[in-house]
Structure 1
Amino acid sequence: MANDDVLKQYLSKYRNRDYTSREVIGVIQVYRSLTFRLEAFVFNNGSRKDLLNLEGTIPVNYKGAYYNIPVCIWLMDTHPQNAPLCFVKPTPDMSIKVSKYVDSNGKIYLPYLHEWSSNGSTLQKLIQCMISAFGELPPVYSKPRNEARAPYPVNSFMPQPPGYPYPQVSPTPGYPTVTPYPTTSNLPYPSYGTPYPGAASTNGTPYPPAASATPYPPAAGYGGPSPDVGGGTITEEHIKASLLSAVEDKLRRRLKEQSQQSQAELETLRRTQQELREGKSRLEDILARLQRERSELDKNVVVLQEKERELQSAIERLGEQEGIDVDEAVVTTAPLYSQLLNAFAEEATLEDAIYYMGEALRKEVIDLDTFLKQVRTLARRQFTLRALMHKCRQKAQLAC
């Protein structure tokens, strides 16, 4: 229960926290050597993010014997929408064996990861695919006993373990022997200890050495007399052919690693080029829109300047003219129109007078009798004026 609480606390920033928690608990119940922790993951662009990882060993059957392969599985915060990032994490006594499933940095490549689906892909199926692939091509091999332990390989994908680099110590006389895995599938696997229990196979035999770990036969004159093999003698031609074969194999592996690295860098550059092209297209659209807006703004400025000059001219003309008499500002062209204008002005004054009479009554300045008497007089006059305006409009053939 405590582990569940700690796991949910680690997954507080994950998008699908409950689903990821259930899946992790199910995996560590089946593979008891795996443990979870929250650590900072460094991406290729240098950004860092706290991600949950499953670290430990998984059992792999290689040529009839079980080996504990140390792995590290990083879960993205969008799990299960995005596939996890998987790595082989060798101990100081191991070396990575580059294959089509593992590169020189320990990163794991599987078809299952490439075809990852948020609907059907699970961590348990992923680990089963790892076990099947590593049973075909082991990802690590044990170093020769007389070889000094090299530091942990620098990997831009994975954070370095505590105490990196590993101290240079003389090799131990042998790997510890662990109990073989039971063949019954319902029995638990041995718990994960320190260092990785996978440092030795279940029968006490180290990890199968790679071809490059096998020493080359000594050249003539350096290792004493040439031994007889099957009645024949190892000559310089045999030694030369063996050395050429070993060098060719090593160059082929190095070329393959360089090719894979170059392909990855080329793909990154292609994605960057595509993003830059899209950004260039967006910037060109923005620039074209700004140019159109600037052209319209220039036109509006020209129109505004013209209107400003016209307004200034009108102000100057008005300043040169004499004052205008308000009473003489409006002059009608005929007596009928003058009678209509005077009747309209008087009717408007009567309407204002009736309004202010109502205000005086509301404020109790006048009594009701006075109000009714004055309003009756004003209304009668207003009616007469409206009738006069109607008759004038008819005579002048205006809209009534």
Structure 2
Amino acid sequence: MAPSPPPPAASDAQYAQQFLNTVLSQRGPSALPYAEDVKWLIRNHLVALIDAFPSLRPRVALFNHKDGRAAHLLQADGTIPITHAGAVYNLPAVLWLPEPYPRAPPLVFLSPTPDMLIKPHHPLVDCSGLVAGAPYLRSWVFPSSNLLDLARSLSHLFGLDPPLFTRSNPPNPLPAAPSSSMLPAPSPRAPSEVVYSPRPYRFPASPQLAARPPPTEDPAEVFRRNAIAKLVDTAYAEAAALRATREAEANALFAVQAELRGRGEWVDIGVRKIAEEMEALECRLQDVTMATDVIKAWVTENHKGAADADDAEAEGAIQPADVLSRQMLDCTAADLALEDAIYALDKAVQEGSVPFDGYLRSMRALAREQFFQRVLCTKVNSAQQQAHVTRMAARAPSHYAS
């Protein structure tokens, strides 16, 4: 799958960098199943790990998943040094980088040699060698978590409580167990496996922990070591919970900020439209005001002459036909005016505005004047009828007159 590693012409760190640059830059069917935007971060993680732990070597190998799928993945294979009871030991381990790495934590397996056993009921390692209870793995957060800090955490925790011990009398090597869903491919190596270095790599010899009698430990020291491990585990768990809570709060605040920015943009657009509409309405109001002033000036200029002409036309609109008709019109107008005066006087005396004796005097004078106007109207009416009969007789034929 991957090209051959570079020739041994430089240091191990340079080999690792060249190897990672080559395998991570491949495209097409032979490309590793990692996201393109994190391949550079994966390279940096492995380079930093190898610089700090030279006993680990990068390589590409076939990994079998639980569901039967197989994929070529990156791994860091070698040993992790620990310090226990004043002595340095090397624990064989393999750090697999699954497809979603670094957004998901790596898979860490201890690969004991035939003369080693996994400590039963270890709090961090199960019977298959999977490191599943490490606090750093449980609190893995992208992109701050990395392989170097993970290896340092495991070195410290395994130094407090080693997960492997050596048999006192190592038996003959057992045949290799078939590869399971969580273990790497067994030896001999598959042809498709790409090894970092062309020369075979041998793990540093692990000291025989069980070859010598275990030293007597102080109970206080054991209690202190267990308390420290418990505190570290609790601190990692609380930090992970606090980090998750803070990230959720930050994401919620970011969402509110984005929504407020969107609403602010809509508000700015609305304010700008309202300002434009107000400016247009002010221009329209100015035009209407100017037109109103022009109309008012024209009406003021032409109203006076039109009113005088209307009054003159009203005066001459009705003209009596003769003297009797004019006298009849004047008498009728005077009679109606007196009738209105009497009505107004009645309302005044009812409201108490005019004293009763004054009402009687005024009423007597108005009634007397109205009587004379009505008598005059009657006489004028009789004269008009007589004149009308005379005009009709004058227009009659001569044979009716004889």
TM-score, normalised via structure 2 length: 0.41
Higher relative CO (CA 8 A, sep ≥ 6), structure 1 or 2?
A: 2
